[in-house]
């Protein structure tokens, strides 16, 4: 037995996550579920009812945004509803409530739009011409 070199255990590596958008959507839905109590606007019954509806109605759909484009498009609508709901349902007098709804709804809509392919965030790839040659423009061809 060799005492001079300690044996090293290999730790298992964490699993690779191909797409983190469903995780982010799940975190946003969890925040939507608890935010009326965290920020103290749980006394506004329309706000709490709106949050319960949104979490139960859009929560399962939101975690499927990377796999199903229609789920992402529906989730955009849920995010827009959340952003506009303080003024539609009449609890916009509470500034913490409407600011929370606007930011959370905007983030959910942006995340879902990205998953639906409606934005260019995270999808920009620069391509080089093959073989390191420059592409010929039409003006150079005409000469």
Euclidean distance between CA atoms 117 and 64, whole angstroms = 14
Would residue 131 count as lying in a domain? no
Among 62, 72, 56, 53, residue whose Cα is nearest residue 23: 62
Q: What's residue 130's pLDDT?
A: 60
Would residue 132 count as lying in a domain? no
Would residue 97 count as lying in a domain? yes
Domain housing 83: 31-116
Please tell me the total count of domains within the chain: 1
Please give the C-alpha separations between residue 106 and each of 28, 75, 101, 112, 138, in angstroms, as whole numbers: 11, 11, 8, 10, 43
Would residue 45 count as lying in a domain? yes
Q: What's residue 34's pLDDT?
A: 94
* Grouped pLDDT means (10 residues each) for the chain, 143 residues: 65 79 91 92 90 92 89 93 93 90 94 86 53 53 53
What tokens appear for 51 in the block? 């949050």
């Amino acid at each position: 037995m060799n005492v001079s070199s300690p044996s090293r255990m290999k730790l298992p590596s964490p699993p690779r996550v191909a797409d983190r958008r469903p995780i982010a959507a799940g975190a946003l839905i969890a925040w939507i579920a608890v935010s009326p109590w965290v920020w103290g606007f749980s006394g506004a019954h329309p706000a709490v009812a709106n949050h319960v509806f949104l979490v139960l109605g859009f929560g399962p759909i939101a975690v499927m945004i990377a796999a199903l484009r229609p789920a992402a498009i529906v989730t955009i609508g849920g995010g827009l509803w959340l952003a506009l709901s303080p003024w539609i349902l009449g609890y916009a007098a509470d500034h913490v409530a409407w600011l929370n709804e606007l930011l959370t709804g905007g983030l959910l809509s942006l995340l879902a739009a990205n998953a639906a392919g409606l934005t260019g965030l995270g999808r920009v790839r620069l391509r080089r011409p093959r073989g390191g040659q420059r592409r010929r423009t039409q003006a150079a061809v005409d000469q």
